[in-house]
Structure 1
Amino acid sequence: MRRCLGIIPLLGRSTAFVLVAFLAVWSAGPAGAEPAPRGSGGYVLGMSADFSGQSRGLGVELYRGAVAYFTQLNRSGGINGKPVVLVALDDGYQPEPAIRNTIDLIRRGDILCLFGYVGTPTVTRILPLLGGGAGAVKPLFFPFTGAQPQREPPHHRHVFNLRASYRQEVAGLVNRFVSLGRKRIAVLYQADAYGRSGWDGVRRALAVHGLTLAGEATYRRGTGFDASMAEQVRILGRSRPDAIIVVGTYAPGAAFIRDARDAGLDVPIANLSFVGSENMLELLVSLSRERGLDYTRHLVNSQVVPSYEDMSLPAVCEYRQLMDAVDPAPPEGSDPHFRTFRYSFAGFEGYLNAVVMTRVLRNLEENPALGLVGAAESVRDMDLGIDVPVSFGPERHQGLDRVYFTTVEGDAFVPVSEAHWEAWRP
């Protein structure tokens, strides 16, 4: 395996060290945002994400991971002397503010493209704006959602995804559970576009095995950890499931796990990558200590990036080094009391998004005639440092397909081993 190589290989060397202002100084808050410096010759990216709502843990960490990379890039001279600037606006994980933010970003005039949006309910609503609906054509790079609409006509032309899809995540989970003999699979999902996307993926994956859903239940977006999920537990419990897949976010997901375990429903419970693993784990570990019970047992979370604990991967080493060196602040306007994490799956994904975005911008800098979409589609077999190459093309706007599985040991998420899977065999 390759050793950790430090931050130089991915950032690249610069013959002259150019110190530019920290990217964080240029970041725009959720309201009253100041324009990025005009005339700087920089590449300006527009981001709308949840920095204050139920999924703020995801938006903040995705932002921080990207900022860590872009800040170091800018300190090292940027792209041929041009800084990369991230203008970040808060949408609270709500469609209407996301639409307003997107229109504002597109109409600013200095935004090259959109980048790092968070959430299916928001992303699906802004897709019609990308093709000129707000006055200009602006592609969206690397949204934090595995939903299908941006991967299918007519919107797929304007979106580049780095992460695997929800269909791929749930297919991986279903295939594993079925291989263990756990064929009565139920689903709990958020009652919106995100939840329905995952629900549809579970149904499709089961159909491949000639199976159907054992049961299903929903909850309302915005449900908190203090809410009761007893009714959802009763609904799914009546279906006698031997595995449950949750398509949701960390607070209601943790509430469901709590109430399921309290009711004696002790089957494996799986969550998708969007859940926000670190935030969920913090809630469950705290509850376990308070009650003297283990609420983290039989928990499986799928991920679309490798574990940030895998120090055999150069990208993991670089991500951790940059997070320690830069210690990026949350975006302006986010909850100052909300805890950030030193490392996280969302943060690592944000970092990888920034690495690939930088390659796209370098391609554009070297050959402006390509245009931004052409510069992205010319990325071939890029070594990210995660042992999986990234390629795009006219018929391929998704860079990665691999799905990873994690479980909890010692109050931390670790990769699922074959021994773990076998322990879940009924």
Structure 2
Amino acid sequence: MISGGAHWRSILLVLCLACLACRGSEALAQGRGGYALGMSAAFSGPSDGLGVELYRGSMAYFTYLNAHGGIHGKPVSISILDDGYQPGPAIDNTIRFLQGDEPLCLFDYVGTPTVTRILPLLKGYGGRRKLLFFPFSGAEPQREPPYTRYVFNLRASYRQELAGLVDRFLALGRRRLAVFYQADAFGRSGWDGAHRALKSHGYSLVGEATYRRGTRFAESMKQQVDILMHANPDAILSIGSYAACAALIRDARDMGLAVPIANVSFVGSEKLLYLLQEAGRERGRDYTSNLVNSQVVPSYEDLSLPAVREYRELMDRYAPEAPALADGNYEPLRYSFTSFEGFLNAKAMARILETYDANPASGLRAAAESLAEADIGIDEPLRFGPNRHQGLDRVYFTTVRDGKFVPMDERQWQAWQR
């Protein structure tokens, strides 16, 4: 028989153990919370379409993923901050992300001038380090020591894009190539890629013109066109954002420069095309001929690919809204190369998080490096490893047909034969 005092002590002990069990369960539940990813990108300014569409593509997949249980029951979210495609705010945003326990990592950053400036922070800020996954940039600094170990890239590099374009133009007998580029780290990275590609064939650039970051479509590019026309190019390689590149195309055609103009993937093909079509309607002319855009993801018109079919279905089903940070008048695109890249970024990130969740002690880097041959539903497997932090290498070429950018075929290339 238990005495009265012992009886109450037993009850208190049970209550204490129950309380501790509840607290333990609460702590366990918190430990099994969702995975937050930190994204700093242009959600305002003349390049806002890049940040908004990359985010929307990623959210289409994460919304689907969360509706089907997330990562072993844990939802994935994106914490977003606007940097306006400017290095200063990007640095501030990154410091903010690094100072807290969340997000788990950085994700979907947009732009070379922003990404290159935050790289030193990834090595350690206030004793805190976080990896950067899948920046929307093909520049070299995040692909080379000492930063490559802190960054995982999904897309091919600008060097690969420009090497592909240069090889194509040279094969057509178009050897006099000029460049138009943004006067910052992004533009210089593209200039370097074009220079290297031509030099490997024994050629050099015949001319170059620059513009300042943040230039809007309404601004004149006549001075730049005049510089390029004096170089008498066979084609122009354009490394910039959609507003400035569209302005160059408009003014080049108005001034009689009709040679092919090639833009790299960062340009934002659909936004570029929209500006050119609007200008064409206003002026009664076609600004969309003799264009080629390199891409680092397959065409979202290629329905033979499982990822394309899934992307289109989920974009239609969830129709992700532009975030509150975006301009209230922003009109989301139904499909785009940028949002498709964001979609693939999310698919790849989910694969990494699944591996990480099964063994968090191994770390996020090890989880990513374990994806040596991952199928994400396109025509190229995703390959990472301890000495490989770029998942894809293929470059695609598109041109305008029937009012949209579509894969370019050999007949269209041959139309430019000299």
Provide the rounded CA distance (Å) in 1 between the counterparts of 2:242 and 2:157: 19
Q: Is the 8 A contact 1:106 1:135 kept in 2?
A: no
Deviation track 1:26-68 (CA, whole Å, cap 9, x = no partner) reads: xxxxxxxxxxx96661111111000002211010000000011
Partner-residue secondary structure (3-state), 1:414: strand
Matched, 1:391 2:383: yes
Show structure 1 runs of 5+ residues with no match: 1-36
The aligned counterpart of 1:228 is 220
* C-alpha spacing 1:134/1:95, structure 2 compared with 1 (3 Å): farther
Q: Is the 8 A contact 1:268 1:300 kept in 2?
A: yes
Q: Is the 8 A contact 1:107 1:135 kept in 2?
A: no
The aligned counterpart of 1:77 is 69
Provide the rounded CA distance (Å) in 1 between the counterparts of 2:182 and 2:385: 33
Partner-residue secondary structure (3-state), 2:342: helix
Partner-residue secondary structure (3-state), 2:346: helix
Partner-residue secondary structure (3-state), 1:218: strand
Map 1:89-108 onto structure 2 (within 5 A): 89-108=81-100
Match of 2:33 among 28, 41, 44: 41
Aligned length: 390
Question: Where does structure 1 differ by over 4 angstroms across 4 or more consecutive aligned residues?
Answer: 37-40
Provide the rounded CA distance (Å) in 1 between the counterparts of 2:33 and 2:400: 46
Query: Which has the bigger relative contact order, CA under 8 A and spacing at least 6?
Result: 1
The aligned counterpart of 2:78 is 86
1:186 Cα shift? 0.1
Partner-residue secondary structure (3-state), 1:382: coil
Identical positions, percent? 65
* C-alpha spacing 1:354/1:194, structure 2 compared with 1 (3 Å): same
Deviation track 1:202-240 (CA, whole Å, cap 9, x = no partner) reads: 000000110000100101111111111111011010010
Map 1:113-132 onto structure 2 (within 5 A): 113-132=105-124
Counterpart residue type for residue 75 of structure 1 = A
Provide the rounded CA distance (Å) in 2 between the counterparts of 1:375 and 1:113: 13
Matched, 1:137 2:129: yes
Provide the rounded CA distance (Å) in 1 between the counterparts of 2:102 and 2:247: 43
Counterpart residue type for residue 377 of structure 1 = E
The aligned counterpart of 2:49 is 57
Match of 1:367 among 359, 362, 371: 359
Provide the rounded CA distance (Å) in 1 between the counterparts of 2:31 and 2:361: 21
Match of 1:111 among 89, 103, 106: 103
TM-score, with structure 1 as normaliser = 0.90
Provide the rounded CA distance (Å) in 2 between the counterparts of 1:107 and 1:79: 25
Q: Is the 8 A contact 1:392 1:399 kept in 2?
A: yes
Deviation track 1:353-402 (CA, whole Å, cap 9, x = no partner) reads: 00000000000112223210000000021111112001100100000000
Which structure has the highest helix share of the two? 2
Matched, 1:354 2:359: no
The aligned counterpart of 1:176 is 168
Provide the rounded CA distance (Å) in 2 between the counterparts of 1:384 and 1:76: 18
Q: Is the 8 A contact 1:59 1:118 kept in 2?
A: yes
Provide the rounded CA distance (Å) in 2 between the counterparts of 1:411 and 1:290: 16
Provide the rounded CA distance (Å) in 1 between the counterparts of 2:174 and 2:126: 48
Provide the rounded CA distance (Å) in 2 between the counterparts of 1:87 and 1:263: 45
Matched, 1:167 2:168: no
Show structure 2 runs of 5+ residues with no match: 1-28
| CA-based RMSD | 1.1
Partner-residue secondary structure (3-state), 1:216: strand
The aligned counterpart of 1:279 is 271
Match of 1:269 among 261, 265, 271: 261
Q: Which of the two has higher C-alpha Rg?
A: 2
The aligned counterpart of 2:296 is 304
The aligned counterpart of 1:214 is 206
